[in-house]
Structure 1
Amino acid sequence: MIESIIETQRKYFDDGKTLDVRTRLSYLKALKKAIVANESKIAAALKTDLGKSPSESYMTEIGMVLEDLSCHIKHLKKWTKPKRRRSPLAQFPSKSYILPSPYGNTLIISPWNYPFLLSMQPLVGAIGAGNTALLKPSRASAATSAVMKELIESVFPQGLAACVYGTDGINDEILTYKFDYVFFTGGKDVGKKVYEAASKNLTPVTLELGGKSPVVIDKTAKIDLAAKRVVFGKFLNVGQTCVAPDYVIAHESVADKFVQCLKKYIAKFYPDALGNDSYGKIISARHYDRVKNLIGGSIVCGGDFDDEKRKIEPTVIYPATIDDPAMQEEIFGPVLPVLTYSTEEQLLEIISKHPTPLAFYLFTSKKKTEKRLLPRVAFGGGCVNDTIIHIASTYIPFGGVGGSGIGSYHGAKSFETFSHMKSVLKKSNTIDLPIRYTPYSKGKDKMIRFFMK
């Protein structure tokens, strides 16, 4: 089945059916209309898979996809136009420009934690840029994957976009085929396999991975507000967010107050978390057991769980140490270790003990601290005085660096990611300067050196 879909999409692209910008726009508009019409169905699927409330589903998934679609629909004609560039004097007379062109047949592999958002956002970019797309969502979020398959089949011809999922070994099988671009979101182990498979055909990739994203609370931070925003970012989707605050490093002079404020907002936002229908669940028994095993040390808040519902209370460990179980890997769950520091060098030493994070969050009232720390910490993206909201903007790119990923997307950057920027120099066919042709002479050499210096 997969081979047949890939062949159909290859022919669809080779026949030039994806190139017309008006046709691309018509499909993007149809997709937006279908999402709006099926919002309740999508939200119900997210509830089944992750226990998300309708409000959270719209705010963190459905609404963000609609916003990205609106951005593409509004700007796509402008993005696809050739971009004029200066020509060097030595190539007079000529015109130079960059022509955005689709790669061809793309593969999108998406994860289970934000199954709708992290499938549809790259799909929008791929279709907008003029590619075909084969989407392979996670079978762990089976209800959402099923809805997306229905949605895609109702909007697109199979030659343009298709969705496959659900069988053992499907990732390994699909990666044996040649694609022109691969977009992967998920864990590092699978990401390495995707990168290795793509390298065999020299296929370009975007890898959106993860890592232990730190939060720094310096002594000038507005502690109450910082705690409120950390609780929001950490326990959204019960911590199953690639850019969730993974751990906090608070200045020793404000750490106690910060933890007290954390406890206050956890109690306010998540009363009776295990019985709260708006508080989600861990996606699977395997991940649930893994997160439970990370709970240890000095627990000052939460720590309880419900095996039947796969729910874990928002849990704070304080004071945490670098040797605690929760500090040994990316948590990806509702467990928040809080460490302390006294000097910036000590702070940077703690951060450097882990691979490059996908996100970095700094709470401070001092611009000097911001200017000093942001260049010194390697990270994909982040916020000053807030958490995770940088991923909600269509105006700035989102992506990782180093061990947290390769490449970025969102808004115009999604179009660029799925486009090859062809460089074209158009030379006059009426004037042909002789200086580049042999035989060379002192006069020609003088002219060449005049133009090229």
Structure 2
Amino acid sequence: METITLENIQSEIDHTFLLQKKQSIQNRTQPVQERKVLLEKLLAWIKNNHSDIQKAIHADFKKPYPEIDVSEIFVVTSEIKHAIKHIDSWVKPQKVSTPMPMLGTKSYIHHEPKGTSLIIAPWNYPFNLALGPLVSAIAAGCTAIIKPSELTPHNSALLRRLVEETFDKSQVALFEGEIEVAQMLLAKPFDHIFFTGSPAVGKIIMKAAAENLSSVTLELGGKSPAIIDANADLKDAAGKVIWGKFVNCGQTCIAPDYIMVHHTIKDEFLKELKSQIEKMYDSSRKGVEKSKDYARIVNGKHLKRLKNLLADAELKGANKFYGGYVNEEENFFEPTILTDLSEEMEVMQEEIFGPILPLITFGDLEEAIHYINLKPKPLALYVFSKDNDNIKRIFKETSSGGAVANDCVLHFLQNELPFGGVNNSGIGKAHGHYGFLAFSNEKAVLHQRIGLTATKPLYPPYGFAGKKIIDSLLKWF
């Protein structure tokens, strides 16, 4: 059996990239039906291997099967079905209006595939966030190489099997491995790179892409706030915040990273939060650790990072209102709510990406808005309020990748909405038509008639008549 070395991997990457480069040129002229066939094959594989997908993801961090179905499988299958349904309209040349100075011409936007693409997927939703971008790449007519996370090896092996059984490697390929493999891939001149991960790594990806002037979609993260207005329905808000925060054990880029509660309702809202945790994860009163509906931290390294965040907060004066228990053998971290926080605490400075929920208070909306605007722009922002004017004000006066009123996380599931960040939380958009556009070049196409045209009087030599026409252009158009 041949030993797999970095040299072998490099050689295979080089060979596969050349195959995909050639295929990407052929894809430009292939009928759209070919893209639908690939998407239908992907959908069929997922349906036929439903149980294997569940087992692989559960093996990596004990994610509950129903949670896998909703947050991993359903998200991908709905994305595939949406693309198949709409791809004909997406690829159709889009006619644009003709301004007066361009009379006689016809103009269109043609959506052509960018070409070769690289998809670097994270570990927190390892199936969903590898295949969601792949759907967009296929719909746009691109080839794709996927680099899954090495932190979820069971899912990575399953994805490798999926790719090998479904696609020719000239169209879709997958390379497993650690940072060295990612670096090898990033050195290739891909036409587009789609990365999901942290802002810190996103900067590295963007630097690598700049070497080849590759376009990028960066799905990053940040500290997404949830504002609880004084007139919010507290029971309803608490249930939605607890689900949005602790699904996947808090390892969600759009989870509420901290909550801002109007000071008059703090104590009542804390009681509701506690009640909702017990309802969802400890209904038997045997402890959350016994719950089959609560996932685990992906590995010991991330568990230690979260323990350090919690220890730093407590050392600097934070109080544990709920939770804090950790079982290192099981990578279990209990849902934890912190109060009495200050800005020098690490938990208030960096994205938590785990089941720690800081709660701070505010006096009025202006204070809350000012606090959010002092921080880097978040990937998501949530507002719970019965006052539509307050909701509109917060959405208008803050900037975030996405925003949701009276719920959390759900905008990710809406295929008609663009998903993505802004500045520190990401560049570019994904899902549905917006994912198709991310992997497409919107090519400007203009058709001019033969013979006399509206622009020929502007050719030199610039006589009296020509100058008058130019003067009119400047004055009236």
Query: What's the TM-score, normalizing by structure 2?
Result: 0.92
Structure-1 separation of matches of 2:77 and 2:17? 27
| Aligned ranges 1:109-120 → 2 under 5 Å | 109-120=120-131
Deviation at 1:347, TM superposition (A): 1.8
Asked if structure 2 preserves the Cα contact closer than 8 Å seen for 1:252 and 1:341, the reply is: yes
Worse overlay, 284-293 or 324-333: 324-333
Aligned equivalent of 1:273:
288
How far does residue 442 in structure 1 lie from its aligned partner after superposition? 1.9
SS in 1 for 2:95: strand
Out of 302, 307, 311, the position equivalent to 2:323 is: 302
Which residue pairs with 2:463 in the alignment? Answer: 441
Contact 1:12 1:18 in 2 (8 A): no
Alignment partner, residue 25 of structure 1: 36
Deviations 1:387-419 (A, max 9, x none): 111111001011000110101111111111111
Distance 1:168 1:63 in 2: 30
Q: Which runs of 5+ in 2 are unaligned?
A: 1-11
- Aligned with 1:5 (options 4, 16, 22): 16
Within a 5 Å distance, the mapping from 1:211-360 to structure 2 comes to 211-271=222-282, 272-295=287-310, 296=314, 297-360=318-381
Alpha-carbon distance, 1:325 to partner: 3.6
C-alpha distance after superposition, 1:323-381 (max 9, x if no partner): 33421311111111111111233323432443211111111111111121112112110
Write the mapping of 1:12-411 to structure 2, written as runs, cut at 5 A: 12-16=23-27, 19-271=30-282, 272-295=287-310, 296=314, 297-411=318-432
CA contact (8 A) 1:90 1:448 kept: no
The alpha-carbon deviation at position 168 of structure 1 amounts to 4.8
* Counterparts of 2:102 and 2:425, CA distance in 1: 42
CA distance in 2, matches of 1:90, 1:360: 44
Deviates more, 1:351-360 or 1:43-52: 351-360
- How many angstroms apart in 2 are the aligned matches of 1:349 and 1:15? 52
Letter of the structure 1 residue corresponding to residue 241 of structure 2: V
C-alpha distance 157-133 of structure 1, shift in aligned 2 (>3 A):
same
1:142·1:166 contact (CA, 8 Å) conserved in 2? no
Paired amino acid for 2:118: L
In the alignment, is the contact (CA less than 8 A) between 2:61 and 2:298 conserved in 1?
A: yes
Query: Following the alignment from structure 1 to structure 2, what is the Cα–Cα distance between the partners of residues 34 and 18?
Result: 26
* Structure 1 residue 426 corresponds to structure 2 residue 447: yes
> Unaligned 5+ residue runs, structure 1?
none
Indicate the larger mover: 300-309 or 272-281: 272-281
* Alignment: residue pair count: 453
Displacement of 1:279:
1.1
Task: Describe the superposition over 1:192-251 as per-residue Cα deviations: whole angstroms up to 9, x where unpaired.
Answer: 111001111211101111001111111011111100100000000000000000111100
Q: Distance in 1 between matches of 2:410 and 2:115?
A: 32
| Structure 2 contact 28–112 (Cα < 8 Å) conserved | no
Cα pair 2:458 2:469 within 8 Å, conserved = no
Among 430, 434, 449, the alignment partner of 1:413 is: 434
Pairwise CA distance, 1:448: 4.3
Contact 2:379 2:426 in 1 (8 A): yes
CA apart distance, 1:305:
1.3
Instruction: Name the stretch that deviates more: 223-232 or 348-357.
Output: 348-357
Q: Secondary structure at the match of 2:119?
A: strand
Q: Which amino acid aligns with 1:403?
A: N
> In the TM superposition, what is the alpha-carbon distance from 1:450 to its structure 2 partner?
4.1
Give 2:334's aligned amino acid. Answer: E
Does structure 2 retain, via aligned residues, the 8 Å contact 1:184–1:191?
A: yes
Report if aligned partners of 2:27, 2:142 keep a CA contact under 8 Å in 1.
no
SS of the residue corresponding to residue 169 of structure 1 reads helix
- The structural deviation recorded for 1:75 is 0.6
Partner of 2:5: none
> Which whole-Å deviations, capped at 9, do the CAs of 1:153-184 have from their partners, x for residues lacking one?
11111011111112451112211111101110
Per-residue deviation at 1:16? 3.8
CA distance in 2, matches of 1:329, 1:353: 14
Contact 1:240/1:332 (8 A) holds in 2: yes
- Residue 270 of structure 1 deviates from its aligned partner by 0.7
Aligned equivalents of 2:247, 2:396: Cα separation in 1: 28
**Shift in Å, 1:444:** 2.9
Shift of 1:90: 2.5
Distance 2:111 2:257 in 1: 38
